[in-house]
Chains A and B, each alone.
Chain A
Amino acid sequence: MQFDPFVIPFNIGLYFILIYAVVRSIIWFRDLSRPDKLRLQRGFFGKAFGQSLKEIFLESLIHRKILRTNPRLGYMHMSLAFGWFLLILFGTIEADIFGEKHLNPPYKAIFFKFFNPEHGITGFEAAYAFLMDLILLFILSGLFLAVIKRFTPKVVGMKKSTKLKSLDKLALTSLWLIFPARLIAESLTSGEYSTGSFLTGSIGSWLATFLPAGELAYPFWWLYSLSLGTFFILLPVTRYLHIPAELFLIFMRNSGIRTGDKAGSYSEIQAHSCSSCGICIDQCQMNFSAGINNIQPAYLIKAIRGNEDTSEIAMNCLMCGRCDQKCPVGIEISAVRMIQRREVYSGPEFRNTWKGYFRLRNGDHTPKPNGHHVYDYLPEVAAAEKTDILYFAGCMTHLTPAVSRSMVKILDASGLKWSFLDKDGGACCGRPLMLAGNDREARELINHTSELIWKSGAHTLVTSCPICYKVFRESYYLDIEVLHHTQFIKNLIDEDLVRMNFLHKRVAYHTPCELGRGTQVYNEPKDVIRHVAILEETGYEDENSLCCGGSLGNIKISYRDRQKIAVDAAARLTSRNPEILITSCPLCKKTLSAATPTKVADISEIVAEAVIIPKTEKTSLKHSLPVAEAVNIF
């Protein structure tokens, strides 16, 4: 037997998806910017290629990262992906070795049993049939977990399962039907011919005792082929596109392509690579502290794919980056979200055509400079007195004057030549505007403040606010050293420019999002704290730190929900009863102190309390400090 009409649906589906893949990759490639095209070409013929293959094996098939975060969920993904891959691989080999001829069309491998029902009785053939049954069992066990997860998400460990579209449901049904249909079809055929191994063989012979196996097998082969065909044809418009899209993502990422700040092929591929695993939902404090669960990356990405209006979802997020850290696919979630935020004023980037099979870009929406300045009221920057160290407090620090007062004390104690850039309140650093997607307006503020900094002649800029620190480092064109005050104090201690008493207090440290995940400053604050107090762990260290809830990144969240997040975060951070909860962000300080009875302080405050004021003034950096009082550092 060489052909049977039931293979037609499968063939249509298969050839459709192959042609689609080619066309789509051409469109994606064409949309890349020139440098990215070159990167990709270089990546294809370089070391990146091997890395990509390795990563595809580990992440797309084995799902190593999901396995680590959540073993049961990982097993589910692995058994389906890796199992299916093995089934196809060994199926093709089987058809090649045992089939009538070599180099068969794909359907011969997929429906091998139907075309070779008497195969697999003795010796090597039986061993091979055993292997195939084992793989099928492997897949079915994962499928079993998947079905349970859909109805009771708790079992696989996810607190929240993602909601589905109707097309997704149809695709899901066909996906779920594929392997049971294959099992039953193979079993019935095996039952009829008394072949098959431990799984199909036993089920087959059992079924054959009370059912007409021969007649029943044929409809199940049809079902198997139909469900495969349906799944393939629906694949591009459902979330299952993530399976092939992830392969593209891995190649592009390893070639050095990054998201950037405009929508393009790469951000589109990232959106399509999300497997809706839901890990980001579990990480999000908006979900577990405030019960808001429609804005997390899984939902944002679903809305992007569905070409829906994302303005509300995109803006309603703390930009804390907790989800970014944990996404097993490695989607640059914050960057993707920022792209959506920038589009709030210009409408969505894509126009849906062909019901989602192909999308056309609307064109470039970047706001053009139009000579219209919104902040032209800012005063002209006058020549300033030259200084070495420039201290920028920032808006938030002005709301928590204890922090700026402490910094003034520390700076004075250091004896360095410094000046206070925004003593009487300066312009905002621009980051809040950027976070709201108003890049052009932000640039005006950046230019203004940059000019102030240049004219001061300082070689070091110190700021107390992590939000400012991030924007100074990433979006200003400064050729001077930019330090957060924790880093600056650390330098002062290392160079012996300030001396401090040891305060015998048990303290806990909260890593602010913008300073930790945002700019990777994890250790300096802790080192400073260890100089003045007894630092205890909170259980939410470094990358795993919480957001205080005050974030300027979210302009949508209500005061009440913010407060819920703040109270919950404060409770978790003080669960081991520290005497003081220390942070290094004025906004965190303000938010947390309103949410807990524990005393909350900025690092600069405890340092200022511990610092020993030298009797004589020092003038330059390298002079050693005349010790005024007994030093008590450890």
Chain B
Amino acid sequence: MEKFGFKLSKPRVIDFDRNDKSVAEFIHANEPSFRLCIECGGCSATCTAGNFIPFSLRELHILLKRGETEKVKDNIEKCMLCGKCSLVCPRGVNTRNIIELAKRAFKIPELHAV
């Protein structure tokens, strides 16, 4: 068959209805300051881990809220829990608790099962 150089690309639509928000809900239930984040990126700018690799807490925040947990799961453990992010956060978000809760949620899935 003749090839014309066309191909089907995967849809890039983010389907909010199908995404798994249970982790975000679990975090929010246990750390209300989760929703205070304005995604300013202050945490990512100061991040100790981000000094070595492209690791951004702001990005993980957004992904968690969108329910795209796969990438969060792969990356969240890279945080060193040093606490710089919570000290620079202009909104008083308790970032380290969010990270710990996310780590726990991934390790013990029953915690946020729906």
- Could you list which residues of chain A lie within 8 angstroms of chain B, going by C-beta atoms? 315, 344-345, 374-375, 377-379, 395-396, 398-399, 424-425, 427-428, 430, 432-433, 436, 438, 441, 445, 550, 552, 555-560, 587, 590
Contact = CB atoms under 8 A, between A and B. Distances in A.
Contact of A375 (B33, B80, B87, B104): B80
B84 A399 contact: yes
Contacts of A377: 52-53, 78
Interface of B: 32-33, 46, 48, 51-53, 77-78, 80-84, 86-88, 92-94, 96-97, 100, 104, 107-108
Given A345-B104, A377-B53, A555 B94 contact: yes
Given A345-B104, A374-B77, A555-B100, A432 B52 contact: no
A432 B85 CA distance: 13
A552 B85 CA distance: 12
A23 B80 CA distance: 45
Contacts of B100: 315, 436, 555
A594 to B, nearest CB: 10
Contact of B52 (A345, A378, A559): A378
Given A375-B78, A552-B82, 16 more contacts: A315-B100, A345-B104, A345-B107, A375-B80, A378-B52, A396-B84, A396-B87, A425-B48, A425-B51, A427-B52, A430-B80, A432-B80, A555-B97, A559-B93, A559-B94, A590-B87
Given A378-B52, A399-B84, A558 B33 contact: yes
A560 B94 CA distance: 10
A451 B114 CA distance: 45
Contacts of A438: 81
Nearest to B92: A559
A231 to B, nearest CB: 40
Contacts of A587: 87
A396 B82 CA distance: 8
Contact of A432 (B83, B92, B93, B94): B83
B97 A398 contact: no
B48 A395 contact: yes
B66 to A, nearest CB: 24
Contacts of B86: 559
A438 B83 CA distance: 15
A441 B48 contact: no
Most A C-beta atoms less than 10 A away, residue of B32, B78, B80, B94: B80
A395 B82 contact: yes
Contacts of A378: 52
8 contacts: A375-B80, A377-B52, A395-B82, A395-B84, A432-B80, A432-B96, A559-B33, A590-B87
A428 B82 contact: yes
Contacts of B52: 377-379, 427
B43 to A, nearest CB: 12
B82 A432 contact: yes
A609 B16 CA distance: 57
Contacts of B48: 395, 425, 427-428
Contact of A395 (B83, B96, B97): B83
Nearest to B36: A559
Contacts, number: 73
Contact of B81 (A396, A425, A436): A436
A396 B86 CA distance: 11
A428 B80 contact: yes
Contacts of B32: 558
Nearest to B81: A432
Contacts of B97: 555-556
A427 B80 contact: yes
A267 B32 CA distance: 33
A424 B48 CA distance: 10
A445 B104 contact: no
Nearest to A378: B52
A520 to B, nearest CB: 24
Contacts of B46: 399
Contacts of A432: 80-83, 96
Contacts of B108: 345
Closest 10 CB pairs of A and B: A559-B92, A428-B80, A428-B82, A395-B82, A374-B77, A432-B81, A555-B96, A425-B51, A377-B53, A552-B83
Contacts of A590: 87
Contacts of B77: 374, 441
Nearest to A429: B82
A555 B46 CA distance: 18
A590 B82 CA distance: 15
B87 to A, nearest CB: 6
Contacts of B92: 558-560
B91 to A, nearest CB: 8
A343 to B, nearest CB: 12
Nearest to B55: A377
Given A436-B100, A556-B97, A558-B33, A445 B80 contact: yes
Contacts of A436: 81, 96, 100
A377 B87 CA distance: 24
Given A399-B46, A425-B51, A428-B48, A433 B87 contact: no
Contacts of A433: 80-81
A590 B77 CA distance: 27
Nearest to A374: B77
A377 B75 CA distance: 11
Contacts of B107: 345
A464 to B, nearest CB: 15
Nearest to B54: A377
A449 to B, nearest CB: 11
Most B C-beta atoms less than 10 A away, residue of A315, A396, A556: A556
Contact of A399 (B33, B87, B94, B104): B87
Contacts of B78: 374-375, 377
A559 B52 CA distance: 28
